[in-house]
């Protein structure tokens, strides 16, 4: 079993002091950073807790990856570029093999975005990984939840619903294995978020379910939405694993997708369509913002679909109602 500072130096200290924008990294009481002239700092923090955000049997590599991914998704939703991260890790014991796996998963994703780990802490306790990511964006250009206008088109990236299905399924079929990977290794849409800066009027990442998180964006913007169930981008794997009815509920209520939901004004639509054609991920037009508050989802027969109370609340737990045979 390693001592605290041996653990840090062996698995997490990669001498970020020479990295761009880092004057002092790991090894002092604090990091010293330099922003590029004319940029603003965007700071996000998320914690993932064993037994709440991931099952107890989750591989260490996936835990490390997810701990960073959930934060990068928030940075993406702000239209910012991720630059630096700090990590506070509570461990039941300093198991060297587990920590090595965690660090490998963390740095796999960090290296993909040239992100530097600049500090943090390790303590003894129930397994919790808390990450803070610092990003940069041109001053006044951060994409907020609150700037949508009536008549904006509403889009969502990726395939909402895959992650929650992946957490619940057994992984026995190829489709279920694919879904499990989507839960363990979500793809933060950093490139897409950056490219939407100056095009999207408002944006949010989907961590607590599409219905709940879109609701946060609409509330912040003082709007409602008219939406189409048939436009939901349901993956073939999700449909194969659970069927269409459950797939719809999982897409709306499931959470853990870490996709982007955003609005685009009509005068930016042509620019956006050209941009989206270059993306590696799917994007779907699911509705439009309206003045009347609330979300009105219509099914294929133009009938209103009553969405159950939805979303995840950290103090109430999962307050949405997934299908009984999926729980």
Note whether 90 and 131 are within 8 A (CB). no
In DSSP terms, 81 is beta-bridged to 136
Local confidence pLDDT in tens for the 327 residues of the chain = 555 555 565 666 666 445 677 877 777 788 888 888 999 999 999 999 999 899 998 999 999 999 999 999 999 999 999 999 999 999 998 888 999 999 999 999 999 999 999 988 888 999 999 999 999 999 999 999 999 999 999 999 999 999 999 998 877 899 999 999 999 999 999 999 999 999 999 999 999 999 999 999 999 999 999 999 999 999 999 999 999 999 999 999 988 999 999 999 999 999 999 999 999 999 999 999 999 999 999 988 677 887 876 554 443 444 344 433 333
Neighbouring C-beta atoms of residue 145, cutoff 10 Å: 20
Per the listing, tokens 């709940």 go with 212
Distance CA 90, CA 129 (A): 6
| Phi, psi for residue 112 in degrees, rounded to 5 | -65, -25
In DSSP terms, 284 is beta-bridged to 156
Distance CA 134, CA 42 (A): 6
Domain ranges of the chain: 4-138, 153-321
- Does CATH number 3.90.650.10 belong to domain 153-321? yes
Structure tokens at 130: 């808390």
Distance CA 39, CA 220 (A): 25
Amino acid 3: pLDDT: 57
Q: What is the pTM of this model?
A: 0.90
| Phi, psi for residue 257 in degrees, rounded to 5 | -80, -35
Of 175, 208, 171, 162, give the one whose Cα is nearest residue 59: 171
How many angstroms separate the first and last alpha carbons of the chain? Answer: 38
Note whether 216 and 283 are within 8 A (CB). no
| Phi, psi for residue 185 in degrees, rounded to 5 | -130, 70
Distance CA 139, CA 207 (A): 26
**3-state class (DSSP) for residue 189:** coil
Superfamily name with CATH number, domain 4-138: PurM-like, N-terminal domain (3.30.1330.10)
Amino acid 136: pLDDT: 96
What are the counts of helices (DSSP H) followed by strands (DSSP E) for the chain? 10, 15
């Amino acid at each position: 079993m390693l001592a605290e500072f041996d653990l840090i130096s062996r698995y997490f200290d990669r001498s970020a002091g020479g990295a761009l924008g880092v004057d002092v990294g790991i090894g002092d009481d604090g990091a010293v950073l330099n922003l590029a002239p004319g940029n603003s700092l965007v700071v996000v923090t998320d914690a993932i807790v064993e037994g709440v955000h991931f099952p107890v049997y989750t591989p260490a590599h996936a835990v490390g990856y997810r701990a960073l991914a959930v934060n990068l998704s928030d940075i993406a939703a702000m239209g910012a570029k991720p630059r630096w991260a700090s990590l506070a890790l509570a461990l039941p014991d300093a198991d060297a093999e587990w920590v090595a796996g965690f660090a490998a998963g963390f740095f796999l994703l960090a290296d993909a975005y040239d992100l530097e780990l600049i500090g943090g802490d390790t303590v003894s306790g129930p397994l919790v990984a808390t990450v803070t990511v610092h990003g940069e964006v041109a001053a006044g250009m951060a994409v907020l939840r609150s700037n949508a206008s009536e008549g904006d088109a509403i889009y969502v990236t990726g395939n909402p619903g895959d992650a929650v299905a992946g957490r619940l399924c057994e992984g026995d079929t190829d489709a279920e294995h694919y879904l499990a990977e989507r839960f363990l290794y979500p793809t933060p849409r950093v490139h897409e978020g950056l490219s939407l800066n100056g095009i999207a009027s408002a944006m949010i990442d989907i961590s607590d379910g599409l219905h709940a998180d879109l609701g946060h964006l609409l509330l912040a913007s003082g709007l409602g939405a008219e939406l189409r169930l048939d436009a939901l981008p349901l993956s073939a794997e999700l449909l194969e694993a659970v069927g269409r009815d459950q797939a719809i509920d999982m897409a709306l209520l499931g959470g853990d997708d870490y996709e982007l939901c955003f609005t685009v004004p009509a005068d930016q639509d042509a620019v956006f369509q050209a941009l989206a054609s270059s993306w590696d991920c799917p994007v779907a037009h699911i509705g439009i913002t309206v003045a009347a508050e609330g979300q009105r989802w219509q099914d294929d027969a133009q009938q209103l679909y009553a969405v159950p109370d939805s979303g995840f609340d950290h103090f109430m737990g999962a307050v949405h109602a997934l299908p009984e045979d999926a729980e």
